[in-house]
Structure 1
């Protein structure tokens, strides 16, 4: 049995799976909890005590599930919050001592590579250039790909922008966001991505190769679920779905018009994401401005699936 644990700036997520035919796998258990590990990190440079306790509680749950499923192969990774925090090493040591989980802090390049590996099955092999993006809590990863065929892609270039939904919401506020503040968020992300966008033009790629856009993150999956008017989030409905640019614009406009309590009341947003969703929308808008495309493919998969694929391949070597 194999397990992939992804501890991000906002979420702690676990997948447990067993190998299936033709290099695929079957998920037997999954867990996700918003822990906000990076809360206050941008202003203080440290992981807060309350965030550590929330995260350790979630890791204990993950450890228990892995024991019950008799997991034999595990890779547990940590990303932006642990990369940046001055007390990241202390937190990792405590996590290992109290939960038995040895977290590995990966580089932004490895984070982008794993996200791409997990999403590759959703890419259209007839469109030979793709931008895959992952809007995280503490950073946003963008990868420019050459699609080589079904389930095959080469990462030609990537960037990690140190702006995610938590960092952006803490900087600009997430509870009350007027048009001016929202515009400033979009502008900050746009400026941070500008050198990467200048190197990789969507119109040129569409003309010469065929271009596609794929997003994996809580932001894009939330917007897709809101568009579908789901009574609660349903991964099977969202993963692999499509949204047109007009649909994205309408959903973002509707969410921007809601007060905090209205966002919290939406079952696909909820109170845990109500102060973060507009920051995510701003990041997505900046991406769509830089790489205009009529449709966006939605992925509720990525880093954990990439980890599982790597673990299973290594076990056969």
Structure 2
């Protein structure tokens, strides 16, 4: 498909600044999240107070592989991304989505060849990526995950463990009925599962190497915790990432991953500890053979566990709610609210 065709069909109907075009005549919206590790797409239509998923796509592409060491996105990673984004482009065209937000995160923030990468993506797939800053990333995660806040609680420490960065947000319920939760504080750590595993190793992780990973992350978390972990009454943890959804799947002993059983599930602190201990006792091959981990995540999951353990140590909360949702859902809700297709909160 050439560029002119894509323009006519809405795939590049965005301003150079990356803002989405106004209006979605057919009510179909698309949100794409190109992360350091994953490429994810969600296409949906408004439905009542939420939305109905029309189509989706998710693939591990490891766009940020080697970026921390070389400063650049590799040709192999670019090729993987182009293939995945081409599939996303075709899905957007097929579903006739006209209201789009297509974002890229840490790998494109950090890489010195991000601009040439984005130009190639636009040329070969018609997708024009918007590189968002870390604050926007944290805000979208809050919008996407806030429906999972405990309605009887005061708020949550939300975390999003990505491939190249990790966002931490303290959110509290607004006393006004039906108002969205308030972001009281947030921070972004320049460490994710890909960068941490590349630095410390991810295949054969000893107890000592794992402890070093936790300590590395803890240095970044400590200043945020010093200001935001003093009063945690009636709060819980709310986690969105491949790490926590994987842990939940292993905890539930699923024979294959099932989003319907994962999204919104509660885990006690002891449950999380037990699963991490279990994973630390597995070999790389045993992790790869687990259907909830797979070979694609087998060398990354312990790095994610180390990030989670550093957060748990800093915020000793008894319960974690698992979210199989995040930036894409946040983008969809934000666009639909802007168009008046959903109520504001």
Among 32, 48, 52, the alignment partner of 2:74 is 48
What does 1:72-221 align with in structure 2 at a 5 Å threshold? 72-148=98-174, 152-201=180-229, 204-206=231-233, 210-221=234-245
Contact residue 42 and residue 56 of structure 2 kept, 8 A: yes
Contact residue 125 and residue 150 of structure 1 kept, 8 A: no
> 1:205 offset after TM fit, Å?
2.7
How far, CA to CA, are the matches of 1:274 and 1:255 in structure 2?
10
Q: Which residue of 2 aligns with 1:308?
A: 332
Please tell me whether residue 291 in structure 1 is matched to residue 323 in structure 2. no
TM-score, structure 2 normalization? 0.89
Please tell me whether residue 14 in structure 1 is matched to residue 38 in structure 2. no
- Structure 1 stretches of 4+ with a deviation exceeding 4 A read none
**Secondary structure of 1:152's partner?**
coil
Q: Count residues in correspondence.
A: 312
What does 1:59-74 align with in structure 2 at a 5 Å threshold? 59-74=85-100
**Secondary structure of 2:168's partner?**
strand
How far, CA to CA, are the matches of 2:254 and 2:92 in structure 1?
30
Closer/same/farther in 2, CA of residues 104 and 37 from structure 1, 3 Å limit: same
How far, CA to CA, are the matches of 1:205 and 1:32 in structure 2?
35
Q: Which runs of 5+ in 2 are unaligned?
A: 1-27
How far, CA to CA, are the matches of 1:15 and 1:151 in structure 2?
25
Q: Which residue of 2 aligns with 1:5?
A: 32
How far, CA to CA, are the matches of 1:177 and 1:290 in structure 2?
23
Contact residue 145 and residue 157 of structure 1 kept, 8 A: yes
RMSD over aligned CA atoms reads 1.1
- CA offsets per residue over residues 267-296 of structure 1, 9 Å max, x none? 000000000000000001111111111110
Point out the structure with the larger helix share.
Answer: 1
How far, CA to CA, are the matches of 1:106 and 1:34 in structure 2?
20
TM-score, structure 1 normalization? 0.96
Q: Which runs of 5+ in 1 are unaligned?
A: none
How far, CA to CA, are the matches of 2:284 and 2:41 in structure 1?
29
Looking at CA atoms only, which structure, 1 or 2, has the larger radius of gyration? 2
What does 1:236-255 align with in structure 2 at a 5 Å threshold? 236-255=260-279
> 1:151 offset after TM fit, Å?
6.6
> 1:231 offset after TM fit, Å?
1.2
Q: Which residue of 1 aligns with 2:8?
A: none
Contact residue 185 and residue 228 of structure 2 kept, 8 A: no
